[in-house]
Structure formats: structure tokens, C-alpha cells
Structure 1
Amino acid sequence: MHTTAQTFKKAFTASIVSATLLCSGFVNAHQDAHHQSQLEQAIAGDHRSATNKARDEYRHPKETLEFFGFNPSMTIVEITPGGGWYTEILAPAVKGKGKLYGAQYPDTGEDNYYSNSRKQLVEKLAGNAVFSEVELTNFVPRQASELAPAGTADMVLTFRNLHNWRDEGVEQAFKDAYKALKKGGVLGVVEHRLPEGVDPKSAVGYVSQSKTIEQAKAAGFTLAASSEINANAKDMAVYPKGVWTLPPVLRLGDEDKAKYMAIGESDRMTLKFVK
């Protein structure tokens, strides 16, 4: 009887454990599906223009954010959102659950690129309720900046900005990101990639991947993974007007437009670093 009771107890316990694991797996799968659908809904939202959506083909926002480990409950910082292309996706994707900081150039009251960029972003955010929870902070290239309260961010992202900041600016921005992130937080970088062996002077706007990795490591980060999500093997990087020869800028206008449209947008490194 004792042996039979023990056997029954073990079997009953095993069934409870199995049921718990099954339920846990179902809940996790449901949560993952919800996270995915929330991101997909943000990408498909009517607040995004047809022009911006057309660039998904080259920017791969869903795949890129999932590679970085995005989920809607995160506190995220986007450094210099520019015209807000990624902000249009990130803001609704975290609204009500997470937090989005836009670390943008401050408005000094002057009529220059930095102040005007801030004014334009403020106007954009005020124009649609989907952006109502976005909080702007100040980012000044080559100066220490508080992107978000120290140690509060789960993820800091920067898309095609390193070439504007130059070495000193990149190094400072990575230090700022490290300070803003929690331990285990992610720094996600997407940037025009300089082909190995190509002189940077002949490939304006492109950045060395190996050098970027060195700069991030110097700021304290570990390279967790790299991805070819945003790669473009057609991009040779040497053009009359640098990377801006390619779409969407097409700085040469109609000159050889079909040629550059066939190449598409630039070849880009996609790097995931961890604090």
C-alpha cells in the first residue's frame, strides 16, 4: 500500500508540473504573440505616411527591433530621432505600457539645423495623439548629455547617426547611452557601413563597423550580436555625393536616377551591444 501511495503521489505531482509548464508555455507564447502584434500594428498604423511605409523595404523595422529584443513594456531612448521615422513606430508600440524618450538637439532659439530639428520634432509630436506619451530630452553632440535618468533605460537606439557625430561624438554618445541603461540593457546601432579596405574619404557618410565596435567596447559595452538584416550587397559605397547619392535623398536628382534606384538604400551594419 505504501509503495502504491508513493507511486500515485509521484504521478500526481508529475502531472501537476507538466500542466504548470504547459500553462506557462501557453502564457509566454500568448505574451510573445501580443508583443509582436502590438509592434506590427504600430508599423501598419494610419498615422504613418505612404512614403515612410515604402521605406520599410530597406529599413526592416519589425525585424530590426525584434533583433534588438524589443517588447512594449520597455523604457526606450531614441537618440536624435530626426524627422521621426522610427518614432512613428516606437511611440505607439510602447504607449500605455512602456516609455519612449526622444533625445534630440535642444532648441537654443537660434535659426540653425539643431534648433530647427527640435522645433520640427516638437510640432510633429503635438500633431497626433499617438505621440502623447513621448518625452523629449536634450542631446548635444560631443557633450555629456542625459538621454534619460541614469540606469532607467532598457534600450537605447540610434539609426544612421554616427556619421554625423564623428569619432569624438560617437564615443561621447556611447558613454551617454551606457549611463542611461540598466545593467543588461541594450544599445542598438544601425549605420551606413564602410566596406573593409575602402578609404573613408572616398565613401562619404559611411562608417567602419570594426571601429564602431571598438568605440562601443571602450564605453563599457559587450557586442552581443550583429545582423545582416539591413545589408545591401549592391551598395559599393563610392559615389559622387556620398551615401546621399542613393535613395531616398538622390542628391544628383534625375542624373543616373534609375541606376541608383536599382541599388536601393545603403548597406547598413546592425549591431546589438549589452551593458
Structure 2
Amino acid sequence: MPQPPKRLTPSNSALDLFGSEVRRYRALANHSIKQLADKIPYSPSFIGAVERAESHCERTFAEHCDAVLDTKEALAHLHDGLFGKKKDGFPEWFRKWPTVEEDAGTLKVYEPIVIYGLLQTEDYASTLLFGDREAIDARLARQAILTRTNPKPPRIIYLLPETVLWNDVGGPEVMRAQLQHLVKAVGPRLSVQVVPNGAPHPGNEGTFTVATLLGGEEIAFAETALRGIMIEDREDISRLKERFNAIGTQALPVGMSVDLIKRTIDEKWQ
């Protein structure tokens, strides 16, 4: 028996309001999600995620829906009003990367300062984003790929220095919940490995992620002091992969990393 659609509260967030309107116009046009997907260049799973307020979308998505559902540009107009220059809560330089995450089969991540965005709790993200509701919702919506069923969630290999576990973001209660969440996230498709403090490694030049798409293409993302940049040059990606592997040789195995995280919770954040 099919599951009833997720109940949305449009007043909760911009994503909820936009998703509820996409669903409403689709229903008024007597289209199923699959029927709509057959007419626009987006998958049923992506349309469903937008309707459930679990994923951001670009303005072009709204434009395609407007054309098929005969909304007289209502969704594009709503998209402009809700998101405008904020581009769904993401800065301009980042807005293409969530689409890469959605298309990825594997994500290799190194984050030297804070917990990786796809694994942040709401309170942890809220502290980092200074309570910006749009940005918080956008970051949390990216996490929908971790629980999707078709296609499978990306395989995530996440490396972080031990010092990330010590950095106070939001106080003991927030940190305790965040590290507990990190432990629970570990599974067959998500590994977390901690580099012990003091271990020499070439990971002192900032955050980077290497994505391998389902079709085999590789794209990377690296952050600078000013902004992040997407990287498609093969030589640059090869160098990042070598750096990732070198950092990984200094990291603890997953089981020992989980034990270290639990020990840090007990010793520092109780």
C-alpha cells in the first residue's frame, strides 16, 4: 500500500512552502510524480524530495514545472520571492555542488575544522550559520541523500582530525548530541575515520571533497578563505585523491575511530 505524502507545514520554512506548492499544482494538473518526471529533465526521486522539502532546487526546475503544469509562471515567481539571490539558502559559489552530491556514487571528504555538513545536527548547523533559518534548512535538506532508496545513498568516506571533536560549537549539549549523531551515522555506506592529534599528514591546506558520479565522472570541491571552487581538471583531482589517500594512511580504522569519538564525548562533553 503506498505511503501517504509527507504532511508539510508551509509556514515552517521556504522549502516547505515551495514543496507544498509544487505538489498542489501537480495535483491540480492530475499528474503523478512519475508523469511529471516523464515530461521534465528531473527524476521522480528528485521531484519527490522537492515536494517533501528535503531538497533544494534551481529556478530551472520551477520553470520546467510551470511549463508542464500550466501554472502561468507561478512556481518560478514563488521561487524568486522565496530564495532570490540566496539561491535556496546557499551562497552563489556553492549552489551547484548539492546537485553533484545528489548524483554521486562515492564522496571522499576531508574536513579539518568542523563536522562535515551532511552529518551535522540542526543545532550544530544553527550555531555555525548564526541561526540563519534559510541556510540551516538548505544544509539539512542536503542530507536527504543519506536516506534515499533509489538510487542507493552515496558511499561516504569521511576523514577528520581529532581536533574537530574538541572544537566547541554551541556548547557541551550541542557537541554531545553532534558526536553521538556522528557515531550513529556510521554504517555499511558511511565510514568515519579520525586522524589522531599529532599524526603527520598533508591535510593542513583546507577542506576538500572528491565526488565520483554514478556514471564514473569525477568532480571535486575545495574551500578557500573566501569561497569554494568546483574542480574538474583531471590532474588537480588526481592530486586531491593522492592527498586524501595520504591522510587516510594516518587515520584510525573505523572501529577505533568510533571508540575515540565515544571516549571524547565522555571525557570532554558530559
User: TM over 0.5, yes or no?
Assistant: no
> Which has the larger Rg?
1
Greater relative contact order structure (CA < 8 Å, 6+ sep): 2
